[in-house]
Amino acid sequence: MSSFWSRSSDDPADFLFPRRSAPTSPTGPPAAQSSFPFSFDSSSSDDDFPSGPRRPKFIQSSKTSFLLGEKLGEGAFAVVREGIDQNTLRLVAIKVLDMRRIKKMRGGAAAVVREVRVQKRLKRHPNLIELIDVIRPKHSSKTYIVLELSNGCTVAQLADRNNGTLPHTQVANYAYQVLRGLHYMHGKGVVHRDIKPANMMLNVNGTLKISDFGVAEFLDEYNQNDNVSRTSGSPAFQAPEIARGDADYSGMKVDVWALGISIFLLITGRIPFQGDNLVQLFENIGRGTFEMPPELPHDIQHVLSQMLTVDWRQRASVGQLLRHPWIVRGSLIHSDSQMEQLGWIKIPAVRANILDAVRRLYVDDADMVQTSALTEDAHPQDAASDAASAPQREEPLSMARAFSTISCCIC
């Protein structure tokens, strides 16, 4: 039986950092037929887009092409852009990694490989952001990680629209969805290690998806325990065992603690452990003493006390929390009118700016067709001769048909 760690032909390590191999034949399977009635410019560079109108840029995978749009966010070594699948018109998020810079960072290359391996193991789940594709173009220093795109905001952004807090029932619903995602993830031998409201993506229909697997870790499949020893994640959400520098601890219980901190933050608007600096913060977390707001309902106080237990051996598990009365009530499906009565904060829809790029492409395509028609009128004999020798071109899709298709893919 082959191990998950063996270097198979589709191993991300081989793909992201390919070994030297013999040249391949230029022949291959025909490119997938596009749903777009136009062609892309594939010769553009990997540099960031300039501002203003620009020639469309796409990246080619083995099955399809993705049109790149505007920035959604950026970090030290990566930029996240909007994207759209040329074949299915599905909107996606594309993480653009500068591998030259990442390779210079200690452990950077290994972290990218681990992130891809983690998401390849986690197949489709309603509460996890899906990995769609990984693309490493030839003669390029960039790697493109294509991910599912949520059409709402993060839970942190939603809370910011309401002075940093959310209604108790809404928090319970989001906690239930996170626990569902963690239950599946832990069952696959993966711990997230950076659970926080900023890594909880929302669709406008209320579905929550855990995102950002950059510091996720595999559990030892040959160890009955779920012990881990590497530390990472956001300081304010770190568990006491990490703050104290314990040699090993339960990775699953670290995710439970971080979710408990997230619930406390979303309900009260503050972090339970404070510190003037990182050392003081970790000292306070390590002691694990905090003030439980007395005005909180008893069931919320109880679930928080179960999740924020200092001794990770006594801390509640994901399975136990999914059976907690407060979490069970959070799993109930509410109608729009009920959510309005409960004071739920409405999830704002994020405008897909890449549709503007698609619109420009259709306008350019229409202009090209019009120019061709004028040429035929001016030189009918030449145009007839050219038409007889040229391959037949598919008529452009109407804008209404194209955007009705795209709108179906947004959710």
Between CA 217 and CA 219 the distance in angstroms is 7
71 among the known binding-site residues?
Answer: no
Between CA 241 and CA 310 the distance in angstroms is 8
71 class by beta-carbon count within 10 Å (0-12 exposed, 13-18 middle, 19+ buried) = middle
Does residue 113 contact residue 16 with C-beta atoms inside 8 Å?
yes
212 among the known binding-site residues?
Answer: yes
147 class by beta-carbon count within 10 Å (0-12 exposed, 13-18 middle, 19+ buried) = buried
**Strands annotated E in 160-211:** 190-191, 200-202, 208-210
Between CA 411 and CA 408 the distance in angstroms is 7
Q: Give the active site residue among 10, 11, 194, 365.
A: 194
**What are the φ and ψ backbone dihedral angles of 177, each rounded to 5 degrees?**
-70, -40
Question: Could you tell me the sign of the dihedral formed by the alpha carbons of 90, 186, 158, 333, in that order?
Answer: positive
Does residue 355 contact residue 403 with C-beta atoms inside 8 Å?
yes
Does residue 241 contact residue 193 with C-beta atoms inside 8 Å?
no
Between CA 105 and CA 220 the distance in angstroms is 26
DSSP letter for 80, please.
E
Residue 194 bears catalytic tag: yes
- Residues shown for the chain: 411
248 class by beta-carbon count within 10 Å (0-12 exposed, 13-18 middle, 19+ buried) = exposed
Does residue 268 contact residue 292 with C-beta atoms inside 8 Å?
no
**Strands annotated E in 157-288:** 190-191, 200-202, 208-210, 217-218, 227-228, 249-250
Does residue 307 contact residue 259 with C-beta atoms inside 8 Å?
yes
Between CA 104 and CA 350 the distance in angstroms is 35
Helices (H), 70-154: 99-104, 108-121
Show which residues are catalytic: 194
Task: Extract the annotated binding site.
Answer: 95, 104, 212
